[in-house]
Amino acid sequence: MQKSYSRLLGVVGKPNTGKSTFFSAATLVAAEIANYPFTTIKPNRGVGYVRTPCVHEDFKVNDNPRNSLCLDGVRLVPVEIIDIAGIVPGAWEGKGLGNQFLDEIRRADALIHVVDASGGTDCEGKSCKPDEHDPLEDVTFLEREITMWMVTILKKDWSKIARQAEADKKGIALPLEDRLTGLGIRRQLVGEAIRKAGLNVDKPTTWSDEDFYRFVDTLRKMSKPMLIVANKIDLPSAQANLERMKKLDYMVIPCSAEAELALRRAAEKQLIDYKLGDSDFKILNPEKLTPGQISALNSIREKVLVKNGSTGIQNAMNMAYFKLLNMITVYPVEDLEHLSDHNGRVLPDTYLVPQGTTARQFAYVIHSELGDNFIYAVDARDKRRIGEDAILKDRDVISIVSAKKRA
């Protein structure tokens, strides 16, 4: 069967932190790609991009991408992203849009937690004075909401199933695994989380409430890896909070979603030269800009780009895909000499696959027949043959030879 490794990134946080601005900026790209691998585009679900240096420069060829974009040597590979409704305290008990956002978290493979780093949004998501609210609290708040939601689902009839598991001498992992379908978590993770939490799988009746919480919290971290976007970094009170947030046990990315949205809109109108994730921009047509627009752009450069290196949106997308989800990029080609497909398109596709993907597994990603009839693969860089179990590396260019192709 053909295998897809598509992953969904969820943008989460309490109301008013800038999630929708982040989502709009991340999904706004002037140049469109004809064929996305995704079909289910709902209003809050869209296509963002990860950015990677294109391999065409390594091979000194001109490319002709099909499933991705190549802008000045930068490959943009589409990925799916969902703007999840704002989470309020008590969401796990059904407060606010409780069930809706938890249902969306269930679908997400990794979470981008957008925090208002300026401290200008209170616990409930209402505006307050800058620094009136401590953004560090938002991190523990969200962890707790998601964990409590999982606890509620997993702990149903706990004393009964714990006693039963001990009587049957089969361990508690299996009965817990049966509950996971509602959470979008892989079964194998349960046993691992129990071990990591230091609990005895055969003695669940001895687990205290805190033990159970610790196990579920471990499971949450493993199944819904999360990074933190310190948003509204353009506001004066945000920088000091960012430094405090960096001490957390998370990747923390300074960000101005609003600045990125402004830059992408200006780039769309060809007023500036700016690619997603760039550390600077160039004004193309100063005469088309009002003095107010020019000063707004200069302020973005000063307050965001110079201080933090970029607006952070692209960095967050990349980190989520490449670091939280451990994905790599691989380029399949049919013709090794021209690095093209059978239509002569040079380096047409970039696939995102998990680290550890083998040559044959990669063949299955392209086409089930290619996987079934796999004979060997060739690494385009050194023209060496590699076998089915060879593990692919980031930015590999691979040609697959299958039985059918030969016949």
Ligand X SMILES: Nc1nc2c(ncn2[C@@H]2O[C@H](COP(=O)(O)OP(=O)(O)O)[C@@H](O)[C@H]2O)c(=O)[nH]1
Residues that bind ligand X (CB under 6 A): 13, 15-21, 86, 231-232, 234-235, 256-258
- Least Å distance, CB 24 to ligand X, is 8
Pull the structure tokens for residue 192. Answer: 């691992």
Residue 290 buriedness (CB in 10 A; 0-12 / 13-18 / 19+) = exposed
Distances (CA, A) of 146 to 2, 18, 217, 338, 398: 33, 20, 9, 50, 40
- The nearer residue to ligand X, 78 or 254, going by C-beta atoms, is 254
DSSP string, 87-123: P-TTGGGT-TTHHHHHHHHHH-SEEEEEEETTS-B-T
- Least Å distance, CB 101 to Mg ion, is 11
- The nearer residue to Mg ion, 20 or 239, going by C-beta atoms, is 20
Select the residue whose beta carbon is closest to Mg ion and give its number: 20
Determine, following the binding rule CB under 5 A, whether residue 44 of this chain makes contact with Mg ion: no
Q: Which stretch binds Mg ion (CB under 5 A): 15-23, 36-44, 156-164, 235-243?
A: 15-23
- For residue 213, the tally of other CB atoms under 10 A from its CB is 18
- Least Å distance, CB 349 to ligand X, is 33
Distances (CA, A) of 209 to 205, 218, 314: 11, 14, 40
Distances (CA, A) of 94 to 14, 103, 223, 250: 15, 12, 22, 27
- The nearer residue to Mg ion, 80 or 396, going by C-beta atoms, is 80
Q: Which stretch binds Mg ion (CB under 5 A): 17-25, 68-76, 105-113, 384-392?
A: 17-25
Residue 343 buriedness (CB in 10 A; 0-12 / 13-18 / 19+) = exposed
- The nearer residue to ligand X, 80 or 260, going by C-beta atoms, is 260
CA distance 359 to 400: 8
- The nearer residue to Mg ion, 19 or 45, going by C-beta atoms, is 19
- The nearer residue to Mg ion, 20 or 152, going by C-beta atoms, is 20
Select the residue whose beta carbon is closest to ligand X and give its number: 18
Q: Which stretch binds Mg ion (CB under 5 A): 18-26, 148-156, 171-179, 320-328?
A: 18-26
- Least Å distance, CB 271 to Mg ion, is 27
The binder of 234, among Mg ion, ligand X, none, by C-beta within 5 to 8 A per type, is ligand X
- Least Å distance, CB 31 to ligand X, is 24
Query: Judging by DSSP bridges, how do beta strands 396-402 and 374-379 pair with one another?
Result: antiparallel
The binder of 289, among ligand X, Mg ion, none, by C-beta within 5 to 8 A per type, is none
Pull the structure tokens for residue 81. Answer: 């992203």
- The nearer residue to ligand X, 15 or 309, going by C-beta atoms, is 15
| Composition of the chain by helix, strand, coil, percent to 5 | 40, 20, 40
The binder of 21, among Mg ion, ligand X, none, by C-beta within 5 to 8 A per type, is ligand X
The binder of 231, among ligand X, Mg ion, none, by C-beta within 5 to 8 A per type, is ligand X
- The nearer residue to ligand X, 258 or 334, going by C-beta atoms, is 258
Residue 313: strand, helix, or coil: helix
Sign of CA dihedral 158, 160, 166, 171: negative
- Least Å distance, CB 407 to ligand X, is 55
> What distance separates the 2 farthest-apart alpha carbons in the chain?
80
- The nearer residue to ligand X, 231 or 329, going by C-beta atoms, is 231
- The residue count of the chain comes to 407
- Least Å distance, CB 20 to ligand X, is 3
CA distance 263 to 300: 9
Determine, following the binding rule CB under 5 A, whether residue 20 of this chain makes contact with Mg ion: yes
The binder of 235, among ligand X, Mg ion, none, by C-beta within 5 to 8 A per type, is ligand X
- Least Å distance, CB 203 to ligand X, is 43
CA distance 370 to 99: 41
- Least Å distance, CB 304 to ligand X, is 8
- The nearer residue to Mg ion, 100 or 326, going by C-beta atoms, is 100
- Least Å distance, CB 318 to Mg ion, is 22
* Helices 257-268 + 19-27 axis angle, to 10: 30
Interface residues with Mg ion (CB under 5 A)?
Answer: 19-20
